[in-house]
Structure 1
Amino acid sequence: MFPIRDHNPSGRTPYVTYALIVVNVVVFLATLGIEQNSRALMQFYFDWAIIPARVEAGEGFYTLITSMFLHAGFMHIAGNMLFLWIFGDNLEDIMGHVGFLIFYLLAGTGAGLVHVMMSPASLVPTVGASGAIAAVMGGYLLLFPKAKIDILVIFIIFFKIFTIPAWIMLAIWFAIQFFGGLAADPDAGGVAYWAHAGGFVLGAILALPVFLRRGGPAFWNRTHGLPPHPAAHYDPSRIPTVRRSVRRRR
């Protein structure tokens, strides 16, 4: 299940969102060269990625920031930047450029700390903007729960685009992270589920002052959980269903 766009246009140009995407992509491209050298790659991760045991020992706190701009592969950065592109502009619109940047960095740092607390002995380097982007999604859920999201559902050979309220898609995503964290080995490699779940909760908490300044529940009553300005309307997207061909006997 992949979100491909929302129906929630922003009222201002999201310069910070664009800048974050550019910085992440530039850093990713700049580090491609060291992937062929395993020794250099491990040293690079030791210097700049979150290693929970190192942070727990009181070292490398700066990696809580630097790790947010590192990614371990094309699909990793592509997925993160897609989510940031879809959800980031609306939070920047309502928080302002500076406010959104502070929100993003603070929440991403907090998500990294949650990861450290849940796996304090782990020596596995952790990279990615996922914790900060999870926070963006948590803030989005609080402020625009009924904004429409177009999602692409892939089930074996069937492809279909559905339009659903944001709260359904975001609630399912959070549940996957939460239960994935419960099931995963905290000291093993793989997905940093607790960074995602922690970032999501932190994002909702950090967006709470903005929500209250807008009137709290009165903001929801005015907007009915929808974007506070006219939603975008798109022509229905259709991806043809691909069915497995069947050879008939004659």
Structure 2
Amino acid sequence: MSFQSVGLKRLFREQGPLLILIGLMFLIFFAQEAFGPLWYMNLMSVPADVMESWNHLLEGRSSVADWKTFGTMLSYAFLHGDIEHITSNMTFFWIFGALLVELLGWRWMLVLFVGTSIAAAATHVGMHRDDLAPMLGASGALMGFEGAYLGLAVRWKLPSPHIWPMSRPVTPGQLALLAVVGVCLDYLNLMSGDGERIAYGAHVGGFTMGLLLASTVIPKPKSAWAAR
């Protein structure tokens, strides 16, 4: 058995669920390209539709259609607009997702993915209640991963991460700083009103939820020790 095959087996054993999640997103993207918008338009999250369904729920007259609309607050995260969109998202999704799997295990990674995706959608909906423009993309969950890593790095002393495509290990502080810079840029763009095509509010919402979860309910990683 070659060294390469051993390495691949180890990779799939340790990061299999994350790789499956990323692979699923690419498969869905290829299906989007093959079948066109009519195939996936009902899976995108439309703020005005979500708010209408929310009002129906408050009024006690929610229907199956309303719950399907609520489901788009997660399904949108599996969709992407073009090859550049999914490639850039999945690159950083892999970096921070793989580190979270190493630190917390794949189950917590999935909890963070679901929780931050929904939080990102809810933030976007809350800021654009009457907007009919649909939202798609895993950026909210990606920013949630970054927020979670920042929370872990502040709360615990973490080992220096080394994950492809980083050429060498870096300090947790440096990687956490990258997350901080990213969310600060999103916040500045959000405050400037430059958000016609990019849901900066969703980015900030996902990041905040990831940070909150890592700072409160997520347990101490086995490879970490208390910060001094």
**Same-fold status (TM-score > 0.5):** yes
User: Runs in 1 of length 4+ with deviation above 6 angstroms?
Assistant: none
Q: Distance in 2 between matches of 1:113 and 1:74?
A: 26
- What is the match of residue 113 of structure 2? 104
- What is the match of residue 44 of structure 2? 49
CA contact (8 A) 1:65 1:109 kept: yes
CA contact (8 A) 1:144 1:166 kept: no
- Number of paired residues? 192
2:180 counterpart of 1:192: no
* Cα-to-partner distance string for 1:11-47 (whole Å, 9 max, x where unaligned): x712221111101001001111234xxxxx2x44541
- What is the match of residue 220 of structure 1? 227
CA contact (8 A) 1:149 1:166 kept: no
2:177 counterpart of 1:182: no
* Paired letter, 2:30: L
Q: Distance in 2 between matches of 1:207 and 1:89?
A: 16
Q: Give 1:127 deviation, angstroms.
A: 0.3
Q: Specify which of 74, 89, 103 is matched with residue 83 of structure 2.
A: 74
Q: Distance in 2 between matches of 1:212 and 1:28?
A: 34
State the secondary structure of the residue aligned to 1:191: coil
CA contact (8 A) 2:44 2:136 kept: yes
Q: Distance in 2 between matches of 1:78 and 1:122?
A: 27
Taking a change above 3 Å as real, the CA distance of residues 131 and 20 of structure 1, as seen in their structure-2 partners, is same
CA contact (8 A) 2:99 2:161 kept: no
Q: Distance in 1 between matches of 2:151 and 2:108?
A: 17
> What TM-score do the two structures reach when normalised by structure 1?
0.68
Q: Distance in 1 between matches of 2:161 and 2:219?
A: 23
Q: Give 1:119 deviation, angstroms.
A: 0.7
Taking the TM superposition and a 5 Å limit, the aligned residue runs for 1:1-250 are: 13-35=14-36, 41=37, 43-58=38-53, 59=66, 60-144=69-153, 147=160, 165-184=174-193, 189-209=196-216, 213=220, 219-221=226-228
* Paired letter, 2:14: T
> What TM-score do the two structures reach when normalised by structure 2?
0.75
Please say which of residues 79-88 and 92-101 is displaced more in the overlay: 92-101
* Paired letter, 2:33: L
Q: Distance in 2 between matches of 1:122 and 1:45?
A: 19
Q: Give 1:94 deviation, angstroms.
A: 2.4
Q: Which of structures 1 and 2 has the bigger CA Rg?
A: 1
CA contact (8 A) 1:53 1:123 kept: yes
The alignment-based identity, stated in percent, is 28
CA contact (8 A) 1:177 1:197 kept: yes
Q: Distance in 2 between matches of 1:52 and 1:70?
A: 16
Q: Which one has a larger percent helix, Structure 1 or Structure 2?
A: 2
Q: Distance in 2 between matches of 1:112 and 1:92?
A: 23
* Paired letter, 2:201: W
Q: Any gaps of 5 or more consecutive residues in structure 2?
A: 1-10, 54-65
* Paired letter, 1:139: A
* Cα-to-partner distance string for 1:36-78 (whole Å, 9 max, x where unaligned): xxxxx2x445411000000010131110111110000001000
CA RMSD in angstroms, aligned pairs only: 2.8
CA contact (8 A) 1:211 1:219 kept: no
* Cα-to-partner distance string for 1:167-202 (whole Å, 9 max, x where unaligned): 32111111111111112266xx30100100110010
Q: Give 1:132 deviation, angstroms.
A: 0.8
State the secondary structure of the residue aligned to 2:80: coil
Q: Distance in 1 between matches of 2:126 and 2:39?
A: 23
* Paired letter, 1:79: S
